[in-house]
Amino acid sequence: MKKISQLEQHQRGNVFIAQCPSREVLNHITSRWGILVLIALNDGAWHRFSELRKKITGISEKMLSQTLQTLERDGFLTRIAHPVVPPHVEYQLTQRGHTVTQKAAVLVEWLEDNIIDIQSLQSQYDQTRMAQESSLQAKK
């Protein structure tokens, strides 16, 4: 495995260092809404704000707006505001956004394919944990 110098690490980024800007961007991508917005824009088309809001159920207008602004600032999407009334704003992934979204989409696809098994494991864990806690309470 090739060793990376401190200079290369700084130029490359290191998400394990709290002050590294790469950690902040990682947080933007993997935030509660960030990854969903990226995946929603993954088809290459332009999408209106209202379309995204309908597609991503549970997101408020405020959170969608903040998430879009953050991802635009990071260079992951492009925003076009058409000069009409009522306002008509559209969003699309940039090439950088498309690249990161392809990687995130693999995780999302894996999760969707394995959710039944994960839920089963969660249930087993919860039952085991409850049994252990009951046993500890009985010993007191």
What's the average pLDDT block by block, 10 residues per block, for the chain (140 residues)? Answer: 59 90 96 97 96 98 98 98 92 98 97 98 96 81
Domain boundaries, the chain: 31-139
18 neighbors 73 (Cβ within 8 angstroms): no
Question: Residue written as tokens 């559209």?
Answer: 90
Q: Indicate yes or no: pTM above 0.85.
A: no
Q: Which of 111, 88, 101, 126 is nearest to 41 (CA)?
A: 101
The domain made up of 31-139 is a member of CATH 3.40.50.620 = no
